[in-house]
Every structure is written in structure tokens, then in C-alpha cells.
Amino acid sequence: MHANRYGLYIKNNQTMTKSILFLFFLINLNYYSKSQTITDFDGNVYHKVNIGTQTWLKENLNVTHFRNGSAIPLVTDDNQWKILTTGAYCNYNNDQNIANTYGRLYNWFVVDDAKNLCPIGWHVPTESDWIILINFLGGESIAGDKLKETGTTHWNQTNVTVTNESGFTALPAGYRMDIEGTFWDLETGANFWSSTEVHFGAANSFLLGNYSSSVYMEYDGKKDGFSVRCINDTTLSVNDINIENRIILFPNPTTENLIIECSDHLNYNLSIYNIIGDLILQTKFENGKYQINVCNFPKGVYLIKLTSANRTAQLKWTKN
């Protein structure tokens, strides 16, 4: 055993190989986490979240240019907004600080513009895209609780059944009314456009309210100013579904008991490796929950790997 220049003690070449492989894993895990973002034309950064076979952005769109760099007109005057027949955006109450948190509000003419509002590889969801999402989360009567951000940091009131288990993190950005041009429902309602037209004057949208567990499909005037969430153009296969966002490790770090919970309640093979790549524990993880007594584990960083027939998840855990 000897110490190298980084203070790591290497017993033999096999241990060195394991250490290098494990360090590569940590580097790749960190890179993977960082790569789960996308940047729009203005430089705004958004995080991705896989929900079923779909990949969505976790934040409301905040861009002021189309994909090709063309500027989207900013309209602040109420009277001008209510007579628009072309694309425009606004900030709630014309306040840039609100937009920094909740995103911009867009009329439907922007959504329908051939210059494309979402970044390359993404689009404004159709009615069908929204319905797939809602059905995956259990239907319109309960999906709202699984889509909304928890707590009252942004929602001024909320029902206790909100979980945000999807990771969608819907924020109540309010809206701008078509017939008056005035602003309503900041901190109480989230209104999202779809790209699906209903008739000459209306398009399909989806509403989440602060006290309701539901998602409401509505038909609204194209002059309304609503939030926009982008969805990826590619549909995931079953093998591509990212389950990391459905797994909870707690407490992490911990000193005594580590609890692992997975919201899909499936059975997995559970493996735990130490920092040099040695297998420490291998067992079955069944019915979505497992508890491990880790009192005798040495302090350090560990890799937890969960595998099933068509899914794999890898997470880091720290023993204090």
C-alpha cells in the first residue's frame, strides 16, 4: 500500500482500476446532472424532467425572442393588448422581477407562429401532449397535485395533498385577460397554453388552481396572456425513462438508517458500492420501500444502484 500525490492509498492494480472506474462514474454522474438543462436564445437556462415517456421543461418559458432570433414584441399597454391579432408577450403587472420568477406571459399568436417559440428540439405542447401527461399522473381529478410546486413560497394557499411528485413544479404565474388587458391570479392560478386551436378566436389551455387537485382543460381567447411550458420533440422508450426523479434517499447524509423509496412501487435489485468500487451490499428492493441499518458502514461516499428488467438508477449517498 502506498500514497499517491493525491493522498489516495492504493493496495494493488485491481483496487486502482476499481477506484478509477468509480471516479469516472462520479464525474459522469455530475456531468449528467449538469447536462439536464437547455438554454434559450436569450441565455435563460431551464431544467429538464422526464415524466413517463415525455420530457418537459421544469420552468415556465422566459424568452423574448423566437428560435431564429427574431424579437417578440413586448406590449405593456392594456388597451393595446386587448386588440392584438399578432404575437406579443408581457410581464405580469409589467414587472420584470415577477417574470424572473414566474416566466413571461404570451398570447396564443406567439404560440402559433412558424418562427417557433421553444428552443430547437422542443415545441409548445399540443392538447394530446397534455392529455398524455395528465393520464400518466392518474387523470385530471388528481394530476394537479402531482404537477404543482409544494409549499407556499409561490402559491399563496395550497391544498395539503400537493406532492409535485412528477417534478413538473407548476408555478402560479397568473394571466393577462384578453378583453381588458388586465392582470389576474398571480400566486393563485397557473394557466398554460397548448398549440391546439379550437376555432378562429380560441385555443386549448390547461389550468391549475391553488385549492384544487385537478387539471382543467379549457378553451380560451387567443388574446389571453398565459404561461408556456415546452416539451421535447422525442418520445422516450421504456428503457429511456429516468427513474432517478422518482427515488428518494433519506436522510442523506445519514449515520444510522437509510430509507429508500421509489414512487413506482416496482421491484429492483439493490447494490451498494464503496468509493473504490467494492460491492458492500446486494439485496432485493421490493414494493417501493427499503430500509438499511448503516451504523457499521465506514464514513464516506457510496454508490447505490437499482436495476430492474428495463430500468436502472444510480445515486450517490454519504455516510457520516
Q: How confident is the model at residue 10 (pLDDT cuts 50, 70, 90)?
A: very low
Q: Is 168 left (phi over 0), alpha (psi -120 to 50) or beta?
A: alpha
pLDDT in tens, 233-242: 987 654 445 5
In order of their start, the domains of the chain are 2-35+243-319 (2.60.40.3080), 39-232 (no CATH)
Q: What is the pTM of this model?
A: 0.67
CA distance 255 to 251: 9
Q: How confident is the model at residue 53 (pLDDT cuts 50, 70, 90)?
A: confident
Q: What is the pLDDT of residue 15?
A: 54
Q: What is the pLDDT of residue 9?
A: 37
Q: What is the pLDDT of residue 32?
A: 38
Q: Is the peptide bond before 253 cis (omega within 30 degrees of 0)?
A: yes
Q: How far is CA 14 from the centre of its chain?
A: 40
* Helix or strand run (H / E) with residue 217: strand 216-221
Angle subtended at Cα 243 by Cα 269 and Cα 18, rounded to the nearest 5 degrees: 55
**What does residue 22 show for φ and ψ, rounded to 5 degrees?**
-70, -40
Q: How confident is the model at residue 122 (pLDDT cuts 50, 70, 90)?
A: very high
Which distant-in-sequence residues (6+ apart) come within 8 Å of 231 by Cβ?
Answer: 54, 55, 56, 57, 122, 123, 124, 125, 129
Q: Is the pLDDT of residue 101 over 80?
A: yes
Please count the CA atoms within 13 angstroms of the CA of 285 that sit on its side-chain side. 29
Reduced to 3 states, what is the DSSP secondary structure of residue 111? Answer: helix
pLDDT in tens, 268-313: 888 898 877 788 999 887 777 888 999 999 998 888 888 776 566 7
- Please tell me which residue, 142 or 11, carries the higher pLDDT value: 142
Q: What is the pLDDT of residue 16?
A: 54
- Please tell me which residue, 249 or 230, carries the higher pLDDT value: 230
- Residue (of 109, 40, 125, 99) closest to 73 by Cα position: 109
Q: What is the pLDDT of residue 301?
A: 86
* Amino acid, res. 80: Q
Region 187-214: mean pLDDT is 96
Least confident of 51-60, 74-83, 102-111: 51-60
